[in-house]
Amino acid sequence: MFTGIVEEIGAVTVLDKTLAGTRVTILASTVMGDLKTGDSVSVNGTCLTVVSRSERDFSVEVSPETLSVTTLGSMAVGTPVNLERAMKLNERIGGHLVAGHVDGVGVIRSRRQEGNTIIFVIEAPPAILRYCVGKGSITVDGISLTINEVGDHSFSIAIIPHTAKVTTLGLKQVNDPVNLESDLIGKYVERLLQERSQLPKSSPVIDKDYLQKRGLI
């Protein structure tokens, strides 16, 4: 599990592609402190296992499945990536509970400056939008963020200068793809309601209005 609070931006230094998958070596500093072989690390929001490490970098192996359903398949040498080590239970959770299991890929449709804030509008698949609510949480490339507004095909987020500086979001432009992970709470609520026969198997969108009507918020 992770918190969605990015520790640093790393850089891809080696890509070793084979039929079985891809071995990626990432240059890093902060996360190297206590990182061990076998540890989990979030790379742009994707939970991966460290298979080897040196003093200045570590390597992970990415399966063909993960490459096909995340943005990791488009990585190249020099690509910057958001990094976070697995959370510790004795520390504050500054973001929200993040599994590191990417639900889908979104696309940045607009980027505009409002004062010192960058507003992104991200187009997302319906399977992700169903769990999006205004002021709710979502993970974008491993970053815990608050949703501003939800539309029929997209949602918007506001990025403060600090987040733009310490994550890759500051580098993102229109039409760039991003990894998305929905808030775990929405998924569990939907599942529990289904088990109690309060939702049909083809569930409606679980949004703020739906929850209010049923007295859940």
User: Using CA atoms, how far apart are residues 80 and 9, in angstroms rounded to an integer?
Assistant: 6
Strands 8-18 and 21-27: antiparallel
Quick one: pLDDT at residue 194? 78
User: Using CA atoms, how far apart are residues 28 and 57, in angstroms rounded to an integer?
Assistant: 5
Instruction: Report the predicted TM-score, pTM, of the whole model to 2 decimal places.
Output: 0.87
Q: What is the mean pLDDT of the segment spanning 185-202?
A: 74
User: Using CA atoms, how far apart are residues 166 and 148, in angstroms rounded to an integer?
Assistant: 21
**Do 49 and 80 share a domain, yes or no?**
yes
User: Is 80 exceeded by the pLDDT of residue 151?
Assistant: yes
Out of 85, 117, 147, pick the residue that ends a domain. Answer: 85
User: Is 70 exceeded by the pLDDT of residue 204?
Assistant: no
Q: What is the mean pLDDT of the segment spanning 176-192?
A: 90
**Do 139 and 65 share a domain, yes or no?**
no
165 part of a folded domain? yes
The dihedral over CA atoms of 36, 163, 68, 10, expressed in degrees to the nearest 10, equals -40
Summarised one tens digit per residue, pLDDT across range 82-107 is 999 999 888 888 889 999 999 999 99
Summarised one tens digit per residue, pLDDT across range 35-60 is 999 999 999 999 999 999 999 999 99
170 part of a folded domain? yes
**Do 65 and 114 share a domain, yes or no?**
no
Q: Which domain holds residue 169?
A: 104-189
Q: What is the mean pLDDT of the segment spanning 170-182?
A: 97
92 part of a folded domain? no
**Which range is least confidently modeled, 14-23, 82-91, 102-111, 200-209?**
200-209
Quick one: pLDDT at residue 200? 57
2 part of a folded domain? no
Q: What is the mean pLDDT of the segment spanning 54-80?
A: 95
| 32: CATH | 2.40.30.20
User: Using CA atoms, how far apart are residues 137 and 94, in angstroms rounded to an integer?
Assistant: 12
Q: Residue written as tokens 């403060």?
A: 160
User: Is 80 exceeded by the pLDDT of residue 21?
Assistant: yes
Summarised one tens digit per residue, pLDDT across range 117-140 is 999 999 999 999 999 999 999 999
| Three-class secondary structure of residue 9 per DSSP | strand
**Do 71 and 141 share a domain, yes or no?**
no
**Do 80 and 108 share a domain, yes or no?**
no
**Do 124 and 161 share a domain, yes or no?**
yes
For Cα atoms 30, 32, 33, give the angle at the middle one, nearest 5 degrees.
80
Out of 54, 85, 116, pick the residue that ends a domain. Answer: 85
The count of structural domains within the chain is 2
**Which range is least confidently modeled, 71-80, 134-143, 204-213?**
204-213
Counting Cβ atoms within 10 Å, is residue 69 exposed (0-12), middle (13-18) or buried (19+)? middle
Single-letter amino acid, residue 169: L
Find out whether 144 and 154 touch, Cβ atoms under 8 Å: no
> Who has greater pLDDT, 210 or 191?
191
